Amino acid sequence: MTQRTLVLLKPDAVKRGLVGEIIGRIERKANWSITALELRTLGRDTLEQHYAEHVGRPFYEPLMEFMASGPIVALVVEGERVIEGVRALAGPTDPIQAAAGTIRGDFGTIVRENLVHASDSEESAEREIKIFFPGLA
């Protein structure tokens, strides 16, 4: 089943020089390809759209501040079961609960600074891809 997903390498991943490492893990998966990629610093407007589902949660404001704190890398990845697949590569939200071998398990300790975002369903993927890459069909 071919799908596409939006992946963000969060500001901690970029600051710590983990972009190559993380993209490398995605690139090495069979039958996946990166079809869009951009480094940019996110403004409040983009973040409000992206995190609309979390408005009002206690972690919302600190998350918004963190996500605007430096450049991120946004990418669209296409391929076989890629939505479930990238979330499996990332590991659970809390890096301390994430197994070794996952991105969060190998590199993270803080829930907020958990290195990557990946769309969690086909609906979220289409919605999020439109926010970050409005020119993509």
Comparison of 79 and 104: residue with beta carbon closer to ligand RTP: 104
H helix or E strand, kind and range, residue 21:
helix 19-28
Q: Is 63 a binder of ligand RTP (CB under 6 A)?
A: yes
> Which of 59, 101, 121, 136 touches ligand RTP (CB under 6 A)?
59
- Distance from C-alpha of 96 to C-alpha of 85, rounded to nearest angstrom: 20
Q: Is 111 a binder of ligand RTP (CB under 6 A)?
A: yes
Active site residues: 117
Q: Is 114 a binder of ligand RTP (CB under 6 A)?
A: yes
Structure tokens, 98: 């994430």
Judge contact between 2 and 79, C-beta under 8 A: yes
The site for ligand RTP, by CB under 6 A, has a size of 9
Per DSSP, the residues of 51-107 read TGGGTTSTTHHHHHHHHTSS-EEEEEEEEETHHHHHHHHH--SSGGGSPBTBHHHHH
Interface map 3-42 toward ligand RTP (x if CB under 6 A): ----------------------------------------
> Which of 25, 29, 112, 127 touches ligand RTP (CB under 6 A)?
112
CA atoms within 13 A on the CB side of 135: 4
The answer on whether 10 is annotated among ligand-binding residues is: yes
- CB under 6 A: which stretch of 14-22, 36-44, 108-116, 125-133 binds ligand RTP? 108-116
Give the residue from 78, 71, 115, 74 showing the smallest Cα distance to 93: 115
Q: Please state the residue numbers annotated as binding site.
A: 10, 59, 87, 93, 104, 114
